[in-house]
A and B are shown apart, each in its own frame.
Chain A
Amino acid sequence: MSNRRETGRVGATAASTAGSTLIEVLVAAVIMSSAVMVLVTGMSTLFSSSAQNRQSTTAGVVARDYAEALDLAVAQTGAWCSSTYTVLLTPPAGYTVSASYGACPTNNATTPQFQTVTISASAPNGSTELLRMVVRET
């Protein structure tokens, strides 16, 4: 009688342990799946953000390069306030750069001869970097 009671208790304990292990595994699988999904999503966001920031930074560099090239172009003989400046710069593939010029000052001996320029550089992802600068008569 005692043996049968013991056997019964042992059987019940074994069955209980087996069942809870299965549930635990299922719960664990769900938790791990969720974690993996969050991990993959986070890494995807990181890579995307990193790529965007890299392109923005590169667009900024392109704008600065254009500004340097524009300084050289303005310094050419007879170039000051001409209809267009010949800016020698080829931006990297996928990037575009352009400049809009403020009005040229009246050309006389008393008007300060400087001109505002806004440089716009666009990255392949569409982000744009603006750079405002001033050029003057050399």
Chain B
Amino acid sequence: MTLHHTRGRDEAGAALELALIFLLSTAVIIGTLLTFASSSSQATVVTRTTRGSDYDADAAMQAAIATIRVSTTQGYVGSCVSFTPTFTLNTPSRPVRVDCFPFSASAAQRHIVLSACPSSVGAPCPDTRALVRADVIFYDDQGFGRAVSIQSWSNQ
């Protein structure tokens, strides 16, 4: 009698307990899967934003080079203003600015260093915050802005 009771109480709820354990395991697995899916989506968005910022810095740098190239007043020691792009950026929430650091100049050439920096960083752009840094020589012999030579191009 006692034995029968004990056996009955042992069996009672076993299937339900197993089902609940299974349900709990399933919940954990689902949570993990959703975390993976969320991470994948977030990674895609972050990749897109980072790519956009990289190309924005490149675009600003190219436009700055083209602008300084034809300017008869920029690119000289003591005379080189920052360039802020007016065209649409990939990531408008992260505007960029290109700071100019004239290195040397003569009648034949202008040698400058340009740094593309987030606009949120104060000028002059420190190297540690530069998105792109370019060492550029403009050749002004035989015609102003005749040629451009990129000595180095460093991405962060």
| Cβ proximity bits A82-96 to B, threshold 8 Å, 1 near / 0 not | 000000000000000
A109 touches B144 (CB 8 A): yes
B11 touches A17 (CB 8 A): yes
Whether B153 sits at the interface, judged by CB under 8 Å, is no
Please report which residues of chain A, range 94-138, place their CB below 8 angstroms from some CB of chain B when the two chains form the complex.
102, 109-114, 116, 129-138
Residues of A within 8 A of B82 (CB): none
Whether B30 sits at the interface, judged by CB under 8 Å, is yes
Residues of A within 8 A of B69 (CB): 112-113
Q: Per a CB cutoff under 8 Å, which of B22, B44, B56, B66 touches A137?
A: B66
Query: With A28-B16, A109-B70 known to touch, is A35 a contact of B22 (CB < 8 Å)?
Result: yes
On chain B, the number of residues with a Cβ less than 8 Å from chain A's Cβ atoms is 50
A17 touches B90 (CB 8 A): no
Whether A25 sits at the interface, judged by CB under 8 Å, is yes
Query: With A6-B1, A131-B51, A132-B90 known to touch, is A49 a contact of B37 (CB < 8 Å)?
Result: yes
Tell me the bound Cα distance from A32 to B143 in angstroms: 81
Residues of A within 8 A of B89 (CB): 132
Query: With A14-B8, A42-B30, A130-B90 known to touch, is A112 a contact of B15 (CB < 8 Å)?
Result: no
Tell me the bound Cα distance from A32 to B43 in angstroms: 33
Query: With A20-B12, A35-B26, A49-B40 known to touch, is A133 a contact of B33 (CB < 8 Å)?
Result: no
B62 touches A134 (CB 8 A): yes
Residues of B within 8 A of A13 (CB): 4-5, 8
A132 touches B55 (CB 8 A): yes
Interface majority SS on B: helix, strand, loop or mixed?
helix
B26 touches A46 (CB 8 A): no
Q: Per a CB cutoff under 8 Å, which of A17, A43, A67, A102 touches B8?
A: A17
Residues of B within 8 A of A64 (CB): 51
Whether A72 sits at the interface, judged by CB under 8 Å, is no
Query: With A46-B37, A113-B70, A132-B90 known to touch, is A25 a contact of B12 (CB < 8 Å)?
Result: no
A32 touches B13 (CB 8 A): no
A-B contact pairs, 23 of them (CB 8 A): A6-B1, A16-B8, A20-B12, A21-B11, A24-B14, A27-B19, A29-B19, A35-B23, A42-B29, A42-B33, A49-B40, A50-B40, A53-B44, A60-B47, A112-B69, A112-B70, A113-B69, A113-B70, A114-B66, A114-B67, A116-B87, A132-B89, A136-B65
Besides the known contacts A21-B15, A49-B40, A50-B37, 16 further A-B residue pairs in the complex with CB atoms under 8 A apart? A17-B11, A24-B13, A24-B15, A24-B16, A32-B19, A35-B26, A36-B26, A56-B44, A57-B47, A60-B47, A113-B66, A114-B62, A114-B66, A131-B90, A135-B62, A138-B148
